[in-house]
Amino acid sequence: MRKLFTFEVPGLGMTYEQVYSELAEAIGCCIEEACVRFAPDEVPAALAYQRRLKEHRIRAERLARVLGLTREIVLETVRPEGMQALLEALEVGSP
């Protein structure tokens, strides 16, 4: 596994060690557990998914702050595409 860590992940421009580190941080575990949970060929898709989730949470927090709601309410009621559209509309409407 150590030798694998030095190789670059195709299409990401990062080594497997960097990708597994980011993935482990995103799911709240250690690198070793991330290696057990995700095979090397699954890592790019898993990382992309975790990045989308992070972006989704950030967008929900921004929208909740602007609307004066909790993030949980925003996450339960608005699709990701709708969140972005609402944020853009609110930014255009603000002075």
Q: Residue 94's pLDDT is what?
A: 59
Which pLDDT score is estimated for 38? 94
Rounded CA separation 20/83 (Å): 29
CA atoms within 13 A on the CB side of 93: 7
Please report the pLDDT score of residue 89 as a whole number. Answer: 80
pTM of structure: 0.75
* Predicted local confidence at residue 17, as pLDDT: 93
Tens of pLDDT, residue by residue, the chain (95 residues): 568 788 999 888 999 999 999 999 999 999 999 999 999 999 999 999 999 999 988 988 988 888 888 888 888 888 877 888 887 887 766 55
Number of domains in the chain: 1
- Whole domain around residue 22: which residue ranges? 2-93
Tell me, rounded to whole angstroms, the distance of Cα 85 from its chain centroid: 19
pLDDT value for 2: 66
Distance in angstroms (rounded) separating the CA atoms of residues 43 and 90: 36
Helix (H, G, I), strand (E, B) or coil at 38: coil
